[in-house]
Structure formats: structure tokens, C-alpha cells
Amino acid sequence: MSNIFCFQCQEVAGGKGCTIRGICGKTDKVANLQDLMIYTLKGIAILQEKGLEKGIRFSKANHFMLNGLFMTITNANFDDTVFVEKIKEAIILREEVKKELIDQGVTLGELCDAATFEVKSDSEIFAKADAIEVGVLATENEDVRSLRELIIYGLKGMAAYAEHALNLGKEDEEIYDFIVKALASTLNDALSVDDLVALTLETGKFGVDTMAMLDVANTGAYGNPEITEVNIGVRSNPAILISGHDLKDLEELLEQTKDTGVDVYTHGEMLPAHYYPFFKKYSNFVGNYGNAWWKQNEEFESFNGPILFTTNCIIPPRESYADRVYTTGATGYPGFKYIKDREDGKAKDFSEIIAYAKKLPAPKEIEKGKIVGGFAHAQVFALADKVVEAVKSGAIKKFFVMAGCDGRMKSRNYYTEFAEKLPKDTVILTAGCAKYRYNKLNLGDISGIPRVLDAGQCNDSYSLAVIALKLKEVFELNDINELPIAYNIAWYEQKAVIVLLALLYLGVKNIHLGPTLPAFLSPNVAKVLVENFGIAGIGTVDEDLKMFLG
Ligand code: SF4
Ligand code: SF3
């Protein structure tokens, strides 16, 4: 057993750091391999940065960097063998980049360990992974450590979104150049706390750009989300449950399951796929099964059919369904079957999971009814007159952005109670899996506008920002913070970190973040966020309602 240190998610042990194994289920081995993965990516980034100074870019390294960062997001990949292979690949790639730079006449100068270390066997990889210098605690100054990790976690979220966009053929060199620069900067001891604060805000800027790019990719391929009623009951056919955020995977799965007698249901963050016009043509795309990621143990058991993870959040499975789970993309878990990436522009091959589904019983019904969503920017703009009228007449007094993540902690009941107790003249704007805390409550509507407007996945928080900016324009305000919008956001993993940094970059103030503030914010860094942005935690529902409505 080795020492680990991870504090990247909200469920961190003791609110401080996981030190033996992850509350998420990550073993010490995997935790340290993930640290080494990030360390190796930093080493490659240092080299890439040297190339950028001469206008040399490395497309393969950029794509590798996205995937490598994405794999280390909470609950994405628990497979040590995958990390070992990926680290080997990274070192080969690093040496290729070095050779290319030398061939092009770039002087490499003195390079740090991340850009030069060698490992000759798997056991040397494990030993390197366990070394203190590759992990979070290698940075001794707690404020510098806090900012470096805040940036890294933002980059992880950014990389995940950029990879989904890339899967749909969209990419942006400026985003890659920034990730390279930011990764390299986290090993630069010459940067001051102020430099790192500035880099943190710049991370937010590129977070906005990345979410905008993904929005263009998703809506360009599948149309603009529209108001949709999503069935939460089941039919009697065998079925596949698809989870995560990757819409390209969903498209290929639907294309390959149509006319096979196998139905497809969404789970967790895939629910908003139903809002896109493109997917409505598939008669076997039946509905959404279950709730947010943390309920998967029970819900996968009763689903009966195979489950496909396209992204996080995976939790260690029960034996009853472990053999039915498939992963793809950046995700992995020891013992789960893995569906390979696209090759030569061909679709992924889902034939095995489809054949398996045919042998299994139909899902067991766990609920009945419908949920409504599809309120991304274009749909809300189409309703703009109604919304503006409702605000002007006082029918809507305030909007509450309650986007973000759901999680296991009991304290998250706060969000259900908060939604229930909000006055009837308020509207919740949501995105991400946080919605499952209140999207099945009957909160009614205001002159036909539902009181919970779901824009989509966590990346569609971008839509909420676009809506806020539009309202600012319509009401001719100078500052986004003059709008009657309050932010009460729930976070769990690193995609929420990039969403938060994006909102800060857009100038949003007084965001309340819960159920607890990130453990990776040192007292001084937290102070900067409080003083400059009014970031705060949450209290009790009644106190907070008084404060927000006061
Ligand atoms: Fe702990 Fe979260 Fe890190 Fe898992 S991801 S080891 S739960 S801090
Ligand atoms: Fe995250 Fe697991 Fe919900 Fe996209 S993916 S939001 S927690």
C-alpha cells in the first residue's frame, strides 16, 4: 500500500484529502498513476511550449493531452493497466516531440525531470508514480499548490469538453496552445501567486471558449435543443443504457441499434440528448432510466441490460451487473469490457453490446411519467418575449441558477429542500446532473414557463451564461450582476471547476458553492475568491432563502 494524496473532488475524505484510497473507489495504485500521467503531460507541455515559440505545433500530442487529462477526472477511469500503457505511450510521444524539435533547430536547454525521466519497466512506472515529486504534495507552498491544482482541475474539465467537440470534428488551436501553456506553467517555480491567479482567470476564459465550441459542435450536428417531454418509464424490449456526455457515441449506438429490437435509454448526464431534434427520429430511443450517477448501483441492477459508459461517473460495481458494463473513450474499470476508439473515420463497433442486450431481459420499471427539458439558449430565446414579459410584470421575481453536479452526500438534500421552498414566483435554471435533486418535483409553471428550466449537461451551463448575457442586453443593464439571478451551484468533480472558472471570467459575482467548498482552496486562495468574486458556501435552506431573497 502506498501513500496517496488527492483532493480534487467534493467527496474528498474528511473534507481535506484522500490519503489511503479514494472515497470514489480509486485505489492507491490508480491514484498515483493518475498523478504520474499528469506529471508526464506537464513534461510534454514544456516541450510543446518550446515548439510554440517557433510556431511548431504537435497535433498528436494535443489530442493525447486531452485524453490523458480526461482519464484522470474523478470516476472516469479506474484501470491501472490502462494508465501504465498510457504512460508508456506518453513517454514515446515525449521523445518524438523532442526529436522533432531538435530536427527543426529548436534549442531544448536544460529540461526538468517531467520532460526527461525514464522508466524501463512496469515496476519502474509504479515506483515513479509513488514518488512524492510527481504528486500534488510536491508543491510545498500551500497557496501555490492550491492555485496550480485549481488550474489543473479546470484544464481537466476543459479537456473533457474539448474531446467531445473533437469527436464531432471541432477543435481550436488556441485552446490547445492555452492548455499547453497552463500545464507547463504549473511546473514553473518562477511564477508568483499573482501570476497564477491571472492564469486561473485565463483558464476561465478558455473554459468559455471550449464550452462555446462544444455547443457549436453539438448543435451543429444534432440541432438546437427544444422543449421535450422525456419518458421515464420502460417498454418490454431488451435494452442498452447509455451514460455520460458523448453525443457522437450515442449517435453511433442509435444508428447500430435501430431495427434490431434493442431499445436505448439514457442515464445520468446523457438525459439531455433527448432534447436534440436529431435523436428524435430513432423510435428505439425510449427515454431516461433512473437518476444521477451515484444511484447507479441500484439502477444498473434493475435495468437488466448492458450499460455503456461514454464518460464519468463510474462507481465500483456490484457483482450482480459488473459483467454487463462496457466502457469507451476515456473511461475504464478493471473487468469491464472496453469498446475501442474509432479507426480510419469508421464508427465505433457496438455489435458486441447489442448482441449481449438481445440475450437479456427488458428493464424493470422503477418509475413512470415524464420530465421536461430542452431549455438551452435557442429555445429560451424563442420564448424571450414571454420570459421578459413575466419579469416585467413581476410574475417572475428571480431566477436561481442551480446548475452543477449531484453526489452521494446526505447534505445534498439541501438542494431538494431549497427547490421545494423557493417561492412560486421564482424559476430554477439548471444544467448538469444537479437537476436530479429536483427535476421530478412538481414545481409547476409561471404563465406556461416551467419553474425548472433544464438547459442540458454540465457543459450547457454555457447556455445559462448566454441566456444571462442576453437578458442583460434586453434589460439594458451595465453589469450581469444587476440581473435578478442568484447562483446556488452544486459541484462534485472537475467539470464543475471549469464551469465555475468560466462564470468568474464572465464577471458573475456572489456564486454560492456547495455542499462544501473545495478542499483544494487554501485559506488565502479562498480569501481571494471571497474578496474579489463574493464566492461563498451554503448555510441552511431557510437562512439561504432569506439571504437570496432579502
Ligand atoms: Fe478522493 Fe475525490 Fe480524489 Fe477520489 S477523486 S481520491 S474521492 S478526492
Ligand atoms: Fe459531472 Fe459525474 Fe454530474 Fe456533467 S459527470 S455533471 S458529476
Q: Whose CA is nearest to atom 1 of ligand 2?
A: 405
Rounded Cα distance, 527 and 531, in Å: 6
216-252: string of b/e by CB count within 10 Å (b at 16+)?
ebbbebbebbbebebbbebeebbbbbbbbbbbbbbbb
Q: What does the pLDDT profile of the chain (550 residues) look like in tens digits?
A: 789 999 999 999 999 999 999 999 999 999 999 999 999 999 999 999 999 999 999 999 999 999 999 999 999 999 999 999 999 999 999 999 999 999 999 999 999 999 999 999 999 999 999 999 999 999 999 999 999 999 999 999 999 999 999 999 999 999 999 999 999 999 999 999 999 999 999 999 999 999 999 999 999 999 999 999 999 999 999 999 999 999 999 999 999 999 999 999 999 999 999 999 999 999 999 999 999 999 999 999 999 999 999 999 999 999 999 999 999 999 999 999 999 999 988 999 999 999 999 999 999 999 999 999 999 999 999 999 999 999 999 999 999 999 999 999 999 999 999 999 999 999 999 999 999 999 999 999 999 999 999 999 999 999 999 999 999 999 999 999 999 999 999 999 999 999 999 999 999 999 999 999 999 999 999 999 999 999 999 999 999 999 999 8
Mutation to probe ligand 2, out of 294, 458, 491, 497 (largest number of atoms < 8 A from CB) = 458
Which residues contact residue 279 at a Cβ distance below 8 angstroms, ignoring those fewer than 6 apart? 222, 250, 251, 254, 273, 285
Three-state secondary structure string covering 240-277: EEEECCCHHHHHHHHHHHCCCCCEEEEEHHHHHHHHCH
Is 313 marked within a binding site? yes
Ligand 1 and 150: CB distance under 6 A: no
What residue ranges line ligand 2, CB within 6 angstroms? 269, 293, 312-313, 405-406, 432-433, 457-458, 492-493, 495
| Closest ligand (CA of 458) | 2
Ligand 1 and 26: CB distance under 6 A: yes
Is 163 marked within a binding site? no
Is 458 marked within a binding site? yes
Distance 277 CA to ligand 2 centre (A): 23
Mutation to probe ligand 2, out of 9, 246, 293 (largest number of atoms < 8 A from CB) = 293
Distance 19 CA to ligand 1 centre (A): 9
Q: Which domains does the chain have, with CATH numbers?
A: 1-138 (1.20.1270.20), 229-358 (3.40.50.2030), 375-549 (3.40.50.2030)
User: Residue 448: in which H helix or E strand, if any?
Assistant: none
Q: Whose CA is nearest to atom 7 of ligand 2?
A: 405
Mutation to probe ligand 2, out of 71, 77, 415, 433 (largest number of atoms < 8 A from CB) = 433
Rounded Cα distance, 209 and 167, in Å: 17
Residue 291's SS3 state is coil
Report which residue type is found at 3.
Answer: N
Mutation to probe ligand 1, out of 7, 8, 35 (largest number of atoms < 8 A from CB) = 8
Distance 493 CA to ligand 2 centre (A): 7
Is 9 marked within a binding site? yes
Q: Quote the pTM value.
A: 0.98
Q: What angle is formed at CA 433 by the lines to CA 340 and CA 500, rounded to 5 degrees? A: 100
Residue 80's SS3 state is helix
Q: Whose CA is nearest to atom 6 of ligand 1?
A: 22
Up-side HSE of residue 356: CA atoms within 13 Å toward CB?
A: 17
Which residues contact residue 13 at a Cβ distance below 8 angstroms, ignoring those fewer than 6 apart? 19, 20, 22, 23
Index of the ligand 2 atom closest to the CA of residue 292? 3
Residue 352: CB atoms within 10 A of its CB come to: 12
Shortest CA distance to 500 belongs to which of 517, 478, 483, 482? 517
Ligand 1 and 32: CB distance under 6 A: no
Is 18 marked within a binding site? yes
For residue 198, the Cα-to-chain-centroid distance in whole angstroms is: 23
**pLDDT given for residue 344 in this prediction:** 86
